A and B are shown apart, each in its own frame.
Chain A
Amino acid sequence: GAGVSQSPSNKVTEKGKDVELRCDPISGHTALYWYRQSLGQGLEFLIYFQGNSAPDKSGLPSDRFSAERTGGSVSTLTIQRTQQEDSAVYLCASSLGTGGAGGNQPQHFGDGTRLSIL
């Protein structure tokens, strides 16, 4: 079956421009996550959506970052007025569920969008 799909795979843009990154999760997965990964580093949590609950935005680094998830499926991460320090790989993951008494289900990752700000 189809995995998590992210687009574009690469994005190069000028400082100050806005960018939109898209994530198509696995069908039926209620939880969706966005992470940022700088070269050779670990994952930095940005935001997650769980069903119809309010998203956990605690990882967003500034108000230039926002994300939405429409119809409980596709998600878009938007970065406004991009800065050079926004350059990184942005990873999306989905899972059957998150948190709760039973713990977290394994996450399934897309291959990311490599964002370069000139």
Chain B
Amino acid sequence: SQQGEEDPQALSIQEGENATMNCSYKTSINNLQWYRQNSGRGLVHLILIRSNEREKHSGRLRVTLDTSKKSSSLLITASRAADTASYFCATDRRFQKLVFGTGTRLLVSP
């Protein structure tokens, strides 16, 4: 079964707005990774946050991790049309392979 579940399944916003996607998981993790997938392409790694970290930034991306709630969020600030893609979280349990969630489809309209 899927370890990570993203919500919402789909999100539609205007350029310049912020986009927030959430990922919930069931068991304790080593780290959590976020990926982006543009239409017709493979996934691209965005950011990795370890279980002992609470927040991490990369450019316009901000990822938070709350291990007590078993959840993570990905915030994209000042979104652009080029951010239109599907976003996946992947959970990493100790000595286990990565498990990808079901993804959030983000549409950013000009």
Contact = CB atoms under 8 A, between A and B. Distances in A.
A107 interface: yes
B48 A93 contact: no
Nearest to B38: A111
Interface residues of B, number: 27
Counting contact residues on chain A (CB < 8 A from B), the size range is 20 to 34
Contacts of B81: none
A100 B92 CA distance: 10
Contacts of A33: 97
Contact of A42 (B44, B50, B96, B100): B100
Contact of A99 (B48, B96, B103): B96
Nearest to A50: B97
Interface of A: 4, 33, 35, 40-43, 45, 48, 56, 91, 93, 98-104, 106-112
Interface of B: 2, 30-31, 33, 35, 40-45, 48, 50, 88, 90, 92, 94-103, 105
Given A91-B42, A98-B97, 4 more contacts: A43-B43, A100-B95, A103-B92, A111-B40
